[in-house]
Amino acid sequence: MHPSLPFITVALCTHNHADRLERTLKTLAELHPTEQPWEMLVIDNGSTDGTPLLLADNGWHPAGIAVRVVREERLGLSNARNRALREARGEYLLFMDDDETPDPDWLCAYERAMQEWRPDALGGRIEVFFEDGVRPPWLQDELLGFLGKLDHGAARWLDAPGTPIFGGNFAFRRSVFGTIGDFDARLGRMGKANIGGEDTEIYRRLLAHGCRVRWVPEAIIHHRIQTPKLRRGYFLDLHFRQGRSEGAAKRGSGRRIPPPYLFAQWLRAVGRAVGRRLGSGADQSLRLEMNAAYFCGFLLGWIRDRG
């Protein structure tokens, strides 16, 4: 590494979350100092609220750390992350979200793993923190992963599709994107559109290219959940949109009429959801309702969209 260049670029992509972002930026001052230099890169993804004004005030800058703010007008989290790829100067590029609080040792834990193992990509533990209210009774433990919670246990190499790394706390050797390509701009949140899947898609691409992915459980970040904004509809919409995207991709340029087995899957999913809700109540049925929403989206994407 050139002595004048940072070892790590921490990239934070944000869109119209000035209230959450302000708290996140303040936590950067609490990070333990690293052995090698790092830089802070903030990508303002077309914000129209108070975000530009907040970022223009350098009072939040961590002491002794180079900070750059870049505006990306093309809306979409993947577009913002791809802009970070172009702007970053570090050997490693570490992403975080604008509603997170990193553990003070978060950055140092990643630095130690990067220096010891020299992986192509890394992922860290994400804990969920309900910052301003009581957890809703319908929010079962199995649903916390859809709010970003992630824990793969002890430190190890990840090599299975079922052990993804999440966008709220993952890092890459910057050069690896020359092999695997950029983030898929069709995936990821776009403004208010509740689209996901870009992080698991790029993780699978890493595996397909034989890249080495290291799990770093000591690199902990806390995803702050604004409890009053939690809605069942968020989870249903997330799965409907995911299904629609995957349905369109699966059909490709084929016939618009879905194969019969998809209708059978849809009917079974809807039947199970209705049965659980009638039998056990709404607090116990959301996971099955999410499956039904997914198949509804999948069928619609197959019929109406083109992959």
pTM to 2 decimals?
A: 0.84
Confidence class for position 195, pLDDT limits 50, 70, 90: low
| Selected residue with higher pLDDT from 198 and 99 | 99
Average pLDDT over every residue of 4-19: 95
Write down the residue that tokens 């509809």 correspond to: 233
65 CA to centre of own chain: 25
Looking at the predicted structure, is the pLDDT value of residue 34 above 90? yes
Looking at the predicted structure, is the pLDDT value of residue 261 above 80? yes
What pLDDT, on a 0 to 100 scale, did the predictor assign at position 162?
92
Average pLDDT over every residue of 172-190: 91
Which spans in the chain are helix H? 18-27, 51-56, 77-87, 106-117, 177-180, 198-208, 232-251, 260-280, 286-304
Looking at the predicted structure, is the pLDDT value of residue 123 above 80? yes
What is the Cβ-side half-sphere exposure of residue 78, based on CA atoms within 13 angstroms? 19
What pLDDT, on a 0 to 100 scale, did the predictor assign at position 2?
58
What pLDDT, on a 0 to 100 scale, did the predictor assign at position 226?
80
* Minimum mean pLDDT range among 27-31, 142-146, 169-173, 262-266: 142-146
What pLDDT, on a 0 to 100 scale, did the predictor assign at position 3?
59
Looking at the predicted structure, is the pLDDT value of residue 83 above 70? yes
Question: Around Cβ 304, how many Cβ atoms within 10 Å?
Answer: 12
Looking at the predicted structure, is the pLDDT value of residue 197 above 80? no
Looking at the predicted structure, is the pLDDT value of residue 1 above 60? no
Looking at the predicted structure, is the pLDDT value of residue 196 above 70? no
**DSSP tag of 105:** T
Looking at the predicted structure, is the pLDDT value of residue 20 above 80? yes
